[in-house]
A and B are shown apart, each in its own frame.
Chain A
Amino acid sequence: GIQVEQSPPDLILQEGANSTLRCNFSDSVNNLQWFHQNPWGQLINLFYIPSGTKQNGRLSATTVATERYSLLYISSSQTTDSGVYFCAVRGYSTLTFGKGTMLLVSP
């Protein structure tokens, strides 16, 4: 099956800093999603982005499908951005998740 690798595994930032999270995948994909898991365990949809670039407020994402990677950018981070960020990809059937990046934003 498809392999999904996320980096870095952990990230600590001061409030106001910017960050880039990376997701590499091993095969062609039909779907790529970024999620944020909040401290209560809820997975929040951030982006559905099999290719191209999207922006939503302070967050943006870029997927370069031909090179098999996606990037999630967080600008001017806030303490509420803390949590785990997951990348998930779908080849021909079901979603495969990466192990996540745990982000801690300190005041």
Chain B
Amino acid sequence: DVKVTQSSRYLVKRTGEKVFLECVQDMDHENMFWYRQDPGLGLRLIYFSYDVKMKEKGDIPEGYSVSREKKERFSLILESASTNQTSMYLCASSSRDRAGYEQYFGPGTRLTVT
């Protein structure tokens, strides 16, 4: 079974703090993704990566950066957290081998910025 894990289920940070969200997958997937989910707005793609040290902007990259130093790990960084970044953050991975790139999700991190 594919397993995607995220470092925290719940996180509370203060405005201006630097925040790291970690995601690890154990299926040797090439592709990894970060989404945020907000009521009424659905899931929106922040960043994705097709390979180590490679990153691509999604639909809403402003205020975020990412790091992929190892194939299994994809980190989302909030350089200076703001209250409008309070959200549910979901990580996903997929294999490039499988046509259509079926995505598998982690359990999510509920981030509150006060």
Q: Do A and B associate with each other?
A: yes
Chain A residues in the interface with B (C-beta under 8 A): 30-31, 33, 35, 40-43, 45, 48, 50, 86, 88, 90, 94-95, 97-100
Q: Can you report 7 residue pairs joining A to B where beta carbons are below 8 Å apart?
A: A41-B110, A45-B104, A48-B102, A50-B100, A88-B43, A88-B103, A100-B42
Contact flag A94-B99 (CB < 8 Å), given A40-B107, A43-B105, A86-B43: no
CA distance A33 to B92 in the complex (A): 13
B-side contacts of A45, CB under 8 Å: 102, 104-105
Contact A97 B43 (CB under 8 A): yes
A-side contacts of B33, CB under 8 Å: 94-95
How many residue pairs link A and B with beta carbons under 8 A? The number is 46
Q: Write out, one digit per residue, whether chain B residues 24-68 have a CB within 8 A of any chain A CB (1) or not (0).
A: 000000000100010010110100100000000010000000000
Question: Which listed residue (B40, B45, B90, B100) contacts A94, Cβ 8 A?
Answer: B45
A-side contacts of B100, CB under 8 Å: 30-31, 48, 50, 90
* Minimum C-beta distance from B95 to chain A (A): 12
B78 interface hit (Cβ, 8 Å): no
Residue of A at shortest CB range from B102? A48
Contact A41 B107 (CB under 8 A): yes
Interface size class of chain B, counting residues whose CB lies under 8 Å from the partner chain? 20 to 34
B-side contacts of A40, CB under 8 Å: 107
Contact flag A41-B42 (CB < 8 Å), given A48-B102, A50-B100, A90-B100: no
Contact B42 A30 (CB under 8 A): no
Contact A99 B42 (CB under 8 A): yes
B-side contacts of A97, CB under 8 Å: 42-43
Residue from A41, A50, A88 having most chain B Cβ neighbours under 10 A: A41
Residue of A at shortest CB range from B48? A94
Contact flag A33-B103 (CB < 8 Å), given A43-B90, A98-B42, A99-B42: yes
A-side contacts of B88, CB under 8 Å: 41
Contact B45 A31 (CB under 8 A): no
A-side contacts of B58, CB under 8 Å: 94
